[in-house]
Amino acid sequence: MAASASADPSASSTLAIITKCSGKDRLRFEKRHPVGSLARRHHQPRPHGDDNDSAERMLATGEVRHGHNATTSEEWFRSTVKGFPAVSVSSRSKICLVSICSVLNATQPQQNVEVAAIVDEDTPTSVLEGYGRLGVRIIDLSGVAFPSYFNNRTANDPDVERNFTAFRRRTPLPPGASTRKATLLGYPHFSSLPDSFYKLFVWNLTEYKRVFYFDPDTLARRNVTEAYLRYEPFAAQIHPRQGPMHSLQAGMMVLQPSRRDFEHLHTMWQSGDYPYPDGMRRGDVSYGDDDQMLLAHALFRKRLLSTPLHRFALCDNDKRGSAHCDPAKVPMFHKWPIWEHERIETLWDAAQNGRCTGNRALLEWRPTSTTAGPSTRAFATAPSGEAATEIQSPPPSLADENERLRRENKELRQQLLHVVALTATPTVLPTDAKAKVGSGQ
């Protein structure tokens, strides 16, 4: 059955699979929110897609890290290297649509599971149209107010980055000091990922009893409803104590929406009542703040959530293969492995045609390339949620059928692109529901 993704939040869905897609990086945030806590916000229309045509092309060579060039899952897994080489994608549209398409394909959501995406004024129009074609509920957070200290990095010193070393010498900041205290002293604050704080608003979607949230840099291989919504909330990948407290990987998590929990988290964010990033305190201004420091402080130090904490099984969020899990045991890749590039292209075609559920080419997907050598094996997508089955090289007839379907998808896309652009109207929250999600500003 196709995803049940009604725009009506009062629908009977009790479970939800939610992602986000925003182009709000550090530079774009500063264009909309001029530096200084009293600066006036400047709203601009959403760009139609990405900035240039080349952004839609995948860099098939991939982003090779850790000094190795494994191109197959077996080659990487047989090595002792932790951290698989990841596909590098320059297109925000491609990242967001391939990820949601992989979830729809692997999960085939039933009527009681709603699929939704958080967007804002910086989400490319091409993504909104894609979500409309796929029946994804859109949760618009364009009106969310960021804290007054947020990205206020030059409020007291126009050359703060250049003079930061001297500034820290004059004004020492003890470890563990709050973000509020640091910014009041004149320390800079910014985030390379301002949209990461949108995750806090998932706790305010109280029409759902349980939510699986995932970042868009993920790729589902198995039924995520069975793989993740089986966890009792709150659940995420929690790493043992690193420094003053445990660390949290918030790119994938299972939570129970709660108005009480949302208000606590939102107040903490708005007031800056969480530790100032230690890297910034030491003078590193390359990355900045993100949601994980706030969430870790709320969960492990203040224990603000009304639900107990549960830890994911190690392979349920093995980001970039850092735990060296067997790829066959990973239900959802966090970062895209280089050996998945053919399936990513198939998902990309399907997403543009609105055919991510019930798509035979995806349900029976096998790699057709032989460039990796005769030892390459494939892992079949398992829409029923069962463990992916390891198979030998695909029979030629199935490969030919997949190729034919891909050609048909491309031809159909060319015929329908201009029609979709005119007719695909993304679903949006009603005014009262939108106010509910963005409340507490």
**Which residue do the tokens 């098939």 mark?**
60
What's the one-letter identity of residue 116? A
Q: Count other Cβ atoms within 10 Å, centred on residue 390.
A: 12
What's the one-letter identity of residue 440? G
205 pLDDT more than 70: yes
Q: Enumerate residues 6+ apart whose C-beta is below 8 A from 160.
A: 153, 154, 167, 186, 188
Peptide bond into 234 cis (omega under 30): yes
User: What residues does 219 pair with on adjacent strands?
Assistant: 333
What's the one-letter identity of residue 308? P
Residue 359 has which token pair? 């798509």
The pLDDT tens digits for 242-283 are 555 578 899 999 999 999 999 999 999 999 999 998 888 887
Q: Enumerate residues 6+ apart whose C-beta is below 8 A from 132.
A: 138, 424, 425, 426, 427
Question: What's the chain's average pLDDT?
Answer: 75
CA–CA distance, 61 with 362 (Å, rounded to integer): 23
Q: Are residues 9 and 433 in contact, defined by beta-carbon separation less than 8 angstroms? A: yes
Mean pLDDT of 314-321: 93
Nearest 5°: CA angle at 317, between 314 and 323? 55
Residue 173 has which token pair? 């900041």
Rounded to two decimals, the pTM is 0.74
The pLDDT tens digits for 5-34 are 333 433 456 899 999 999 886 666 666 655
**Which residue do the tokens 């030059």 mark?**
154
What is Dmax (Cα atoms) for the chain? 72
pLDDT band for position 414 (50/70/90)? low
Q: Are residues 271 and 198 in contact, defined by beta-carbon separation less than 8 angstroms? A: no
Quote the crossing angle between the two packed helices 341-353 and 125-134, to the nearest 10°: 80
DSSP secondary structure letters along 255-269:
E---HHHHHHHHHHH
Quick one: how far is CA 127 from the chain centroid? 14
Lowest model confidence (mean pLDDT) among 201-215, 335-349, 422-436: 422-436
CA–CA distance, 173 with 276 (Å, rounded to integer): 10
Q: What is the DSSP letter of 237?
A: E
pLDDT band for position 111 (50/70/90)? confident
Q: What is the DSSP letter of 191?
A: B
CA–CA distance, 31 with 104 (Å, rounded to integer): 34
